[in-house]
A and B are shown apart, each in its own frame.
Chain A
Amino acid sequence: GENVEQHPSTLSVQEGDSAVIKCTYSDSASNYFPWYKQELGKRPQLIIDIRSNVGEKKDQRIAVTLNKTAKHFSLHITETQPEDSAVYFCAAEGDTGRRALTFGSGTRLQVQP
């Protein structure tokens, strides 16, 4: 089955700096890669996703890049703010006609004011 590895497990940045979280996946058939943000005690919320037919997607301060050949994808947050502090999860899923997101282990991002 699919295996998703996520790094780093913790990340501390100064407000205004950029943050980068990286994930690798094992199943070359995976073609959908969402990123979720989970604040303490709250539900995971989708912040951005990318499908394998594009290499990059941007939404304001958040961008995701995908390298299908190397089987890795990354989340980039620019101009970080204290409210960006949360745990971020990457995930991967194949186009099998069934749902089965495989999640990375999470990155705890701390933005220092």
Chain B
Amino acid sequence: KAGVTQTPRYLIKTRGQQVTLSCSPISGHRSVSWYQQTPGQGLQFLFEYFSETQRNKGNFPGRFSGRQFSNSRSEMNVSTLELGDSALYLCASSRTSGSKDTQYFGPGTRLTVL
């Protein structure tokens, strides 16, 4: 079974721009969660989507948004980029929402904001 995939793997943007990241979950997985990983703040939960609905949201500003499509693929959008948004963005998928199922991570998208 193919793992979680993310595109693009690397991205360089400038302040003020916006960016869209994509995540394809493992086949059959309907929950997709997004995390931000930085050296200073570690791994932080952004949001979770399940059956095209946002089920949970972390403590991030409204510039961070996402969506999920009927095939469970998910996109994350960051508008008006700031230098502090430079990070590795990881998505993770699981079969269902909630803690019953294991989450599997994708390789991440490394975003650099100049």
Contact = CB atoms under 8 A, between A and B. Distances in A.
Interface of A: 1, 31-32, 34, 36, 42-46, 49, 51, 89, 91, 93-106
B99 A99 contact: yes
B73 to A, nearest CB: 17
Tell which of A32, A93, A101 has the most Cβ of chain B within 10 Å.
Answer: A101
Contacts of B100: 95
Interface string B12-26: 000000000000000
A46 B100 CA distance: 14
B97 interface: yes
Contacts of A101: 33, 35, 43, 45, 103
Main secondary structure of the interface of B (DSSP, over half): strand
Interface residues of B, number: 27
Contacts of A44: 43, 90, 105
A99 B43 contact: no
A103 B103 CA distance: 13
15 contacts: A31-B99, A42-B107, A43-B4, A43-B90, A43-B106, A44-B105, A89-B43, A93-B99, A96-B56, A98-B50, A99-B45, A99-B94, A101-B103, A102-B45, A103-B44
* Residue from A1, A42, A99, A104 whose CB has the most chain B CB atoms within 10 Å: A99
Contacts of A96: 56, 98-99
Choose among B44, B48, B97, B103 the residue with the greatest number of A CB atoms under 10 Å from its CB: B103
Contact of B56 (A32, A36, A100): A100
